[in-house]
């Protein structure tokens, strides 16, 4: 049994938000800026470790994998990570084919994010997240909780730091919420232009977080953006970075003062608004999951 929360902690239950509440709140701008800054700093510091989050499909598969793990940790009657169990968890979602899912599971082992669970049946392949991996997921979620706290002066990040076992409940709840939200899993074309490419998430967070909250006109000027600067900052391939930026430019999502991607850069208001809605879906899911996790842990589960 996990350590139950105190009466005082239960009296400070974190607020759960709807995406529509977040999307139009000026405070959400601070939330997005804070999260993007911290997440990009983590990416720059730990490029190898966060490679499994480098595109939308890998992000979803990784969250699903760790949700299976945490649901087993909190209730051993639930199955641990295995090829079959991960596929069952994803059943009914449009995330990835069977072959892609199995290849991803092998990749997580290659990056040493998982370790084998000893079993007497050699035909079984059972895995669990390594402690270092759990710590990375904890960091990712706490970063988002700290950003959410900017919305209402909440105590989510403090709760997660003082009661790290909350992670085991909150992460699967968040994952199930986003996996069954087609607007998140299958974002509109402006967002997919970035997220379907390896490391495209980094570029999207980098440029979209620079936009001022109040948008004026169809072009939002954000200053200097160069493929060389981005590739160096996040240790990405410069050719891949240039390709993603060129595709966004050709789609009218961004542009520059002068030919050859020179001078100050602008983003389309459509891209910025789409990004804010897409992120609001994730933050709303996290806020609901955290509140439910606090309630569950407070009951002494």
> For position 3, what pLDDT does the model report?
57
pLDDT greater than 70 at residue 4: no
Q: Shortest CA distance to 34 belongs to which of 129, 145, 175, 162?
A: 145
User: Residue 10: pLDDT above 70?
Assistant: no
Structural Rg of the chain based on CA atoms: 20
pLDDT digits (tens, 9 = 90+) for 108-120: 888 889 999 998 8
Predicted local distance difference test score (pLDDT) of residue 81: 98
Given this model, what pLDDT does residue 300 score? 55
Query: How does pLDDT run across 67-112, given as a tens digit for each residue?
Result: 999 999 999 999 999 999 999 999 999 899 999 999 999 988 888 8
Domain ranges of the chain: 7-186+280-298, 189-273
pLDDT value for 9: 59
For residue 152 the two structure tokens come to 């209402």
CA 67 to chain centroid, in Å, comes to 13
Which CATH number is 189-273 given? 1.10.10.10
> pLDDT for 140-172, tens place per residue?
999 999 999 999 999 999 999 999 999 999 999
Average pLDDT of the segment spanning 274-282: 98
pTM above 0.85, yes or no: yes
pLDDT at 5: 60
Distance CA 246, CA 38 (A): 26
What single string gives the DSSP state of each residue in 193-232?
HHHTSTTHHHHHHHHHTTS-SS--SSEEEEEE--HHHHHH
Indicate the pLDDT class of residue 297, thresholds 50, 70 and 90. confident
Return the pLDDT at 11.
63
Residue 179 burial (CB count, 10 A): 21
pLDDT digits (tens, 9 = 90+) for 206-260: 999 999 999 999 999 999 999 999 999 888 899 999 999 999 999 999 999 999 9
CA distance 202 to 33: 13
Q: Which residue has the tokens 């891949």?
A: 240
The per-residue pLDDT for 1 is: 42
* Residue 301 reports pLDDT greater than 60: no
**Arithmetic mean of pLDDT, 192-203:** 92
Q: Which pair of structure tokens corresponds to residue 206?
A: 């980098």
pLDDT score recorded for residue 249: 98
Give the percent of the chain with pLDDT over 70.
94
DSSP code of residue 284 = H
Rounded distance between C-alpha atoms, residue 292 and residue 173, angstroms: 8
For the chain, what percent of residues have pLDDT higher than 90?
81
3-state secondary structure of 155: coil
Give 299's pLDDT tier (boundaries 50, 70, 90): low
């Amino acid at each position: 049994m996990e350590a139950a929360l105190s009466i005082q902690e239960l009296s400070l239950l974190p607020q759960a938000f709807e995406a529509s509440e977040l999307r139009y709140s000026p405070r959400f701008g601070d939330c997005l800026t804070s999260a993007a800054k911290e997440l990009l700093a983590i990416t720059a510091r730990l490029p190898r470790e966060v490679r499994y989050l480098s595109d939308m499909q890998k992000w979803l598969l990784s969250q699903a994998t760790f949700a299976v793990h945490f649901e087993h940790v909190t209730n051993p009657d639930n199955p641990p990570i295995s090829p079959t169990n991960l596929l069952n968890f994803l059943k009914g979602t449009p995330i990835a084919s069977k072959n892609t899912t199995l290849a991803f599971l092998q990749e997580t082992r290659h990056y040493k994010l998982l370790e084998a669970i000893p079993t007497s049946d050699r035909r079984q392949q059972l895995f669990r997240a390594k402690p270092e991996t759990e710590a990375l997921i904890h960091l990712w979620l706490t970063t988002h909780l700290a950003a959410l706290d900017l919305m209402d002066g909440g105590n989510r990040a403090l709760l997660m730091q003082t009661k790290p076992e909350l992670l085991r409940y909150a992460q699967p709840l968040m994952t199930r919420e986003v996996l069954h939200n087609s607007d998140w899993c299958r974002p509109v074309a402006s967002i997919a232009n970035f997220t379907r490419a390896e490391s495209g998430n980094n570029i999207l967070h980098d440029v979209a977080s620079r936009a001022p909250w109040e948008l004026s006109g169809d072009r939002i000027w954000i200053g200097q953006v160069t493929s060389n600067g981005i590739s160096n900052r996040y240790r990405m391939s410069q050719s891949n970075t240039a390709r993603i930026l060129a595709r966004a430019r050709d789609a009218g999502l961004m542009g520059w003062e002068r030919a050859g991607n020179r001078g100050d850069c602008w983003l389309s208001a459509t891209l910025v608004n789409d990004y804010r809605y897409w992120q609001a879906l994730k933050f709303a899911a996290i806020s609901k999951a955290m509140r439910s996790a606090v309630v569950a842990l407070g009951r002494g589960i």
